[in-house]
């Protein structure tokens, strides 16, 4: 078993801005594992918010002792981008060696095309209205907020796309006063939930607030251990494979979250189709799907996921997770 790690950068179609800053490219890590003439591969996106960088994640990946199994990996690396890439590469390799698609190996239902949200990044209200108008064929718009002009931004997006379902992401940029004011305003504008209004670690703020606008944990939700602390505070949890540390833990988080009464959003970092492919196996089990990363790229991987406007299709064999001869036919 041999492991290869490399950096890749994908230029974005336009500047992508959230409350913490802007980016013009998706900088990712690709892991390839070869064994007995077969190859499995996967991608992760290091995230500065979680004290990750390309260099530190590559160092973590290279620390793994080979050969390794999926179960051994869960013990040798904690949740995060490094384990995600290796975990998903091992699942892809297992599909190749067993001749069985990953969804069957996991014992879950065959994945289906799913409606994905399209993300509108933080900008002036005028520009956000323009983009909402351009994307009005998307039934769900996710809007990045966290600035001083959030109300006007949402009014602009609603004007640009009167019929869309809207979810908003504050990326830890709100205060209790902002939530108390904007909650009913946004509810009246048809906003269905807000992601992570307050900084992770200060989640107890929610205990004293009337949650008129449902709240989703993102930066506060990583792995199984996160869930108990979120009970009674959040209505949704956002599952991202770069946070859980791969598909193996993500399925456990999804099942446990359901049992505990949470609704589920399936999210992503800004990455290529290779990063979305494993997550697509879970999409049909979630309440909201936000796997639009490739739609933001100027150029994607070869043999990318298929998107038909708002529909995201599961990966086929030439991308990830299947024996080579297996294709979906829709």
pLDDT band, very low/low/confident/very high, at 40 (cuts 50, 70, 90): very high
- Kindly tell me if the per-residue pLDDT of 147 is higher than 90: no
Examine the domain organization and report whether 124 and 164 are in the same domain: yes
Query: pLDDT over 90 for what percent of the chain?
Result: 94
Give the closest residue to 262 by CA, choosing from 238, 290, 289: 238
* Domain containing residue 237: CATH number: 3.20.20.120
DSSP 3-state of 285:
helix
CB 294 within 8 A of CB 312: no
pLDDT band, very low/low/confident/very high, at 105 (cuts 50, 70, 90): very high
Arithmetic mean of pLDDT over the chain: 95
Quick: pLDDT tens for 227-274.
Answer: 999 999 999 999 999 999 999 999 999 999 999 999 999 999 999 999
The strand order across the sheet containing 114-115 reads 114-115, 311-312, 307-308
What's the confidence (pLDDT) of residue 77?
A: 96
DSSP 3-state of 28:
strand
Examine the domain organization and report whether 254 and 294 are in the same domain: yes
What's the confidence (pLDDT) of residue 18?
A: 87
Examine the domain organization and report whether 125 and 260 are in the same domain: yes
Q: Where in the sequence is the domain holding 24, given as residue range(s)?
A: 2-100
Examine the domain organization and report whether 95 and 122 are in the same domain: no
Examine the domain organization and report whether 27 and 154 are in the same domain: no
Domain boundary among 100, 125, 143: 100
CB 143 within 8 A of CB 157: yes
What SS3 string covers 125-164?
A: HHHHHHHHHHCCCCCEEEEECCCCCHHHHHHHHHHHCCCC
Please state the rounded mean pLDDT for residues 208-224: 96
Dihedral sign of CA atoms 309, 310, 316, 320 in order = positive
What's the confidence (pLDDT) of residue 326?
A: 39
CB 234 within 8 A of CB 220: yes
Examine the domain organization and report whether 43 and 96 are in the same domain: yes
Quick: pLDDT tens for 66-96.
Answer: 889 999 999 999 999 999 999 999 999 999 9
Examine the domain organization and report whether 82 and 139 are in the same domain: no
Examine the domain organization and report whether 277 and 168 are in the same domain: yes
Is 91 part of any domain?
yes
What's the confidence (pLDDT) of residue 186?
A: 98
Quick: pLDDT tens for 118-133.
Answer: 999 999 999 999 999 9
Is 217 part of any domain?
yes
* Domain containing residue 53: CATH number: 3.30.390.10
Which distant-in-sequence residues (6+ apart) come within 8 Å of 293 by Cβ?
Answer: 26, 268, 269, 270, 271, 272, 275, 276
Quick: pLDDT tens for 287-299.
Answer: 999 999 999 999 9
Examine the domain organization and report whether 78 and 208 are in the same domain: no
In the block, which residue shows the tokens 């043999």?
303
- Kindly tell me if the per-residue pLDDT of 61 is higher than 50: yes
The model carries a pTM of 0.95
Total domain count, the chain = 2
Is 105 part of any domain?
no
- Rounded (10°) CA dihedral 133, 135, 140, 145: -70
CB 70 within 8 A of CB 91: yes
Rounded alpha-carbon distances, angstroms, from residue 156 to 47, 72, 133, 159, 162:
30, 50, 10, 5, 10
Please state the rounded mean pLDDT for residues 178-185: 96
Is 298 part of any domain?
yes
- Kindly tell me if the per-residue pLDDT of 215 is higher than 50: yes
Please state the rounded mean pLDDT for residues 3-23: 94
Please state the rounded mean pLDDT for residues 207-229: 96
Please state the rounded mean pLDDT for residues 17-33: 93
What's the confidence (pLDDT) of residue 19?
A: 84
d(CA 325, CA 227): 39
Examine the domain organization and report whether 150 and 195 are in the same domain: yes
- Kindly tell me if the per-residue pLDDT of 136 is higher than 70: yes
């Amino acid at each position: 078993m041999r492991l290869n790690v490399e950096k890749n950068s994908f230029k974005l179609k336009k500047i992508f801005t959230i409350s913490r800053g802007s980016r013009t490219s998706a900088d990712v890590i690709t892991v390839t594992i070869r064994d007995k003439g077969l190859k499995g591969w996967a991608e992760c996106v290091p995230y500065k918010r979680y004290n990750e960088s390309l260099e530190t994640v590559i160092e973590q990946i290279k620390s793994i002792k080979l050969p390794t199994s999926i179960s051994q990996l869960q013990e040798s690396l904690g949740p995060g981008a490094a384990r995600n890439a290796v975990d998903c590469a091992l699942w892809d390799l297992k599909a190749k060696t067993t001749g069985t698609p990953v969804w069957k190996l996991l014992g879950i239902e065959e994945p289906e095309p799913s409606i994905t949200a399209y993300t509108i990044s933080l900008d002036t209200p005028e520009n956000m209205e323009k983009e909402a108008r351009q994307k009005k064929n998307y039934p769900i718009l996710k809007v990045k907020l966290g600035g001083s002009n959030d109300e006007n931004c949402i009014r602009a997006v609603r004007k640009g796309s009167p019929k869309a379902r809207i979810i908003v992401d504050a990326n830890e940029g709100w205060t209790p006063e902002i939530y108390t004011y904007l909650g009913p305003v946004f509810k009246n504008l048809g906003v269905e939930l807000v992601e992570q209004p307050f900084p992770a670690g200060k989640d107890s703020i929610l205990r004293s607030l009337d949650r008129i606008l449902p709240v989703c944990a993102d930066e506060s939700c990583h792995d199984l251990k996160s869930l108990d602390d979120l009970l009674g505070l959040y209505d949704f949890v956002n599952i991202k494979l770069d946070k859980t540390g791969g598909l193996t833990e993500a399925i456990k988080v999804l099942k446990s979250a359901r049992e505990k009464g949470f609704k589920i959003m399936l999210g992503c970092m800004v990455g290529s189709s290779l990063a979305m492919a494993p997550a697509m196996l879970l999409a049909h089990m979630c309440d909201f799907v936000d796997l639009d990363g490739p739609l933001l790229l100027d150029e994607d991987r070869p043999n990318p996921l298929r998107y038909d406007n708002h529909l995201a299709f599961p990966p086929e064999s030439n991308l990830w997770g299947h024996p080579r001869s297996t294709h979906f036919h829709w």
